[in-house]
Amino acid sequence: MARFKFRLATLRRLREQHRDELRGRLAEAYEAERLLAEQRRGVHDETATLRDVQRQMVSAASPNVNQLLEAQRYGALLQSRDAALGKQMQQVAEEIERRRLAVVEADRQVKALDKLEDRQRAEFDAVQLQIQQKEMDEIAGQRRGAVEA
């Protein structure tokens, strides 16, 4: 019996490699998003700590104006850093969506080749079954002819 060989196996393998590469890039983008979110949480925590320190400075009997001004400058720096991280997170989110769509498309292409292989394999199996049936019929016919003779 002949063996089935999918003629587009090399193409499917290339598309699988491409899909896997795209998945790796998507994972990198998710990692970048995670790191940015972690940095942003750190900035938010620092901002909250700074506010507490500022409240304590203001509630003191004689607040140090220079320290208050320095704290305000640092607060402005944290605020601008938070805004920059927010912008970066938005860009990364857009990149994640682009990469996710690329992975979906690559996966669709691989699945299309898988379906084609399944269909061709089923057709091959059906043809092989017909060939076997024909051979069995010929053998049965030869035996019947030998018994009658």
Q: What is the pLDDT of residues 81-129, one digit of tens each?
A: 999 999 999 999 999 999 999 999 999 999 999 999 999 999 999 999 9
Per-residue tokens: 143: 């035996």
First-last CA distance in the chain: 31
Which of 90, 130, 117 shows the shortest CA–CA distance to 15?
Answer: 117
Evaluate whether residue 80 is within a structural domain. Answer: yes
The CATH number of whichever domain residue 24 belongs to comes to: 1.10.287
The count of domains in the chain is 1
Report the distance separating Cα 65 and Cα 55, nearest Å. Answer: 13
Structural domain that includes position 93: 9-114
Per-residue tokens: 86: 């927010």
Span 33-49, mean pLDDT? 98
Number of H helices, E strands in the chain: 2, 0
The pLDDT score that the predictor gives to residue 75 is: 96
The amino acid that residue 85 corresponds to is L
